[in-house]
Amino acid sequence: MKLDGLGFKPLVSQGDTVTVNQPLIQFDSQKIQENAYDDTVMIVVTNTNATKDVVIEEQQTVKERDSLISVIY
């Protein structure tokens, strides 16, 4: 990461068990933009061979707790 973690606060650690709707990270969009970086967030779904479907919500702008994708097993 080019900002060495500036503006990011992890809320879980590697190996933790997470639950549905549990926040994983907090980030300060303003700090990221102040350092001339785009604050677009990338979502990566791994092990898609173990899923039935990945449904992407049709939204351009999202708010906290908006659903972005559904992974169906």
Please give the model's pTM, rounded to 2 decimal places: 0.53
Residue 34 has φ and ψ, to the nearest 5°, of -60, -25
Domain ranges of the chain: 8-72
| Cβ pair 65, 21 in contact under 8 A | yes
Q: How far apart, in whole angstroms, are the C-alpha atoms of residue 56 and residue 14? A: 26
The predicted-structure confidence for 40-51, as pLDDT tens digits, reads as follows 777 888 888 999
pLDDT at position 1 is 59
